[in-house]
Copies of this chain bind each other. A is one copy, B any other.
Amino acid sequence: MAVIVQKFGGTSVADLDRIRAVANRVAATLREGHQVAVVVSAMAGVTNQLVTWVRDAHADCDTREYDAVVSTGEQVTTGLLALALNNLGIPARSWLGWQLPIDTDGAHGRARITAIETAELRRGLESGAVQVVAGFQGRSADNRVTTLGRGGSDITAVALAAALRAERCDIYTDVDGVYTSDPRIVAKARKLDKITYEEMLEMASLGAKVLHTRSVELAMKHNVRLQVLSSFNDEPGTLVVDEDEIVEQELVSGITYSRDEAKITLVRVPDRPGIAASIFGPLSDAEVNVDMIVQNVSEDGKATDLTFTVAKGDLKAAVAVVEVHKGELGYAALVPDPNVVKVSVIGVGMRSHAGVAKTMFETMAAKGINIQVISTSEIKISVLIAEEYTELALRALHSAYGLDSA
């Protein structure tokens, strides 16, 4: 009998009516003949409230206490879902991170799972009882509560699916799958039936909010078949699987955007060896991540313009670091620009097909959009453009790559 892991996010367990709806959905999966392990988040809003209290109690707090407090939301929904299942006549029990246990390292607030003990879970599953596991939490070696950080309950679900060698890990959320682009901007965006881990990873890191990169990485590593689907309807969702499972691979699967970008241009930086290191070394020391970098060809062999991007929240810090080193860097001017967006075209089909980049550049040119920076990987092309062109660029690219729904 196959094990299915189902994970329900905060909006899916936002109140008792929603928790009862989740219980009914679990019951339906049981009736299909599966063994079901469920992972739940806290009720929507609860964790934020707890985090606010913690910050209020101590601005720069001991993360061990942070974890003890913010992990309680999942404890509540885990017990309530077990009870809602019991109320349908279905045997069920709750599991907290320390009970299984779910062992993690000691990096409180962003812990990594090191092991999940599944012997008792398996016994429970084989007896026909639903096993309801608290998401987002674990136990450190010194017996403290840990939490896994952003996307933590998804990570719990994927890790549990891997440990149980589950048939599938269903991530129930408030959207019904992964789309070719953001439907709020691109009206013709389509839901994808399947997408590869690699593409999902790029989409997650390039702005699609539906799954966090850490859970996709974990799924890819352990070959866990993920499904993203809505708990608010009965439509099939999007399967995230290995490339082998996708017979007819489209050239491009999705077009994402990220507004969390800021650009810094250093005008007339001396064109000498080691200059890049003397700029990016201090930024790295200040924990500022640099994403895209472009250096113009030097016209006179003496100086060149250098442009790079950082997260919008890091712009101020990055400018400060570079200005401190102005003397040794010797640039003529520093031009910060927070009004930029990164638009990315993603698809494993790019590996075997040329022309994807060409279509992108032609489309941007046809719409009169200036490309400021370009970066590419094996399965994606990203361009930095002025933020005001975001919607225009997304819609034009969506059409150009033939992704529009009929």
Residues of A participating in the B interface, judged by any CB pair closer than 8 Å: 16, 19-20, 50, 53-54, 56-59, 61-62, 64-66, 68-69, 71-72, 75-76, 78-80, 82-84, 86-87, 93-94, 96, 98-99, 143-145
A-B CB contact pairs (8 Å), 12 listed = A16-B56, A16-B57, A57-B83, A57-B84, A58-B86, A61-B83, A61-B86, A65-B79, A65-B86, A65-B93, A68-B94, A72-B76
* B residues in contact with A53, CB < 8 Å: 16, 76, 80
**Chain B residues near A78 (CB, 8 Å)?**
68
Ranked nearest first, the 4 interchain pairs of A and B with the lowest CB-CB distance are A69-B79, A57-B83, A58-B83, A68-B79
A57 and B80 form a contact (CB under 8 A): yes
> Are A99 and B143 in contact, CB atoms less than 8 angstroms apart?
yes
Instruction: Specify the chain B residue showing the minimal Cβ separation from A84.
Output: B57
Least CB distance, A332 to chain B, in whole angstroms: 47
How many subunits of this chain does the assembly comprise? 2
A334 CB, min distance to chain B CBs, angstroms: 39
Query: Which chain B positions have C-beta within 8 A of A143?
Result: 99
B82 touches A62 (CB 8 A): yes
Question: Is A69 touching B62 in the complex (CB atoms < 8 A)?
Answer: no
Instruction: Tell me the bound Cα distance from A3 to B59 in angstroms.
Output: 30
Bound Cα distance A398, B54 (Å):
48
Chain B: minimal CB distance from A97 (Å): 11
- Whether A50 contacts B68 by the Cβ 8 Å rule is no
Cβ-defined contact, B94 with A65, below 8 A: yes
For A19, the chain B residues whose CB sits under 8 A away are 57
Contact A62/B86 with A68-B94, A99-B143, A143-B99 known, Cβ cut-off 8 Å: yes
How far does the alpha carbon of A135 sit from the alpha carbon of B249 in the complex, in Å? 58
Provide the bound-state CA to CA distance between A87 and B62, in Å. 10
Q: CB distance A87 to B58 under 8 Å?
A: yes
Query: Looking at the complex, which one of B84, B99, B144 makes contact with A58 (CB distance below 8 Å)?
Result: B84
Inter-subunit contact A54/B68 (CB<8 Å): no
18 more A-B residue pairs beyond the given contacts A61-B83, A65-B86, A68-B96, with a C-beta to C-beta distance below 8 A: A19-B57, A53-B76, A53-B80, A54-B80, A57-B84, A58-B83, A62-B82, A62-B83, A62-B86, A65-B82, A65-B83, A65-B94, A68-B75, A68-B78, A69-B76, A71-B75, A72-B75, A72-B76
CB neighbours (8 Å) of A75 from chain B are: 68-69, 71-72, 75
> In whole angstroms, what is the CA distance A52 to B54 when docked?
25
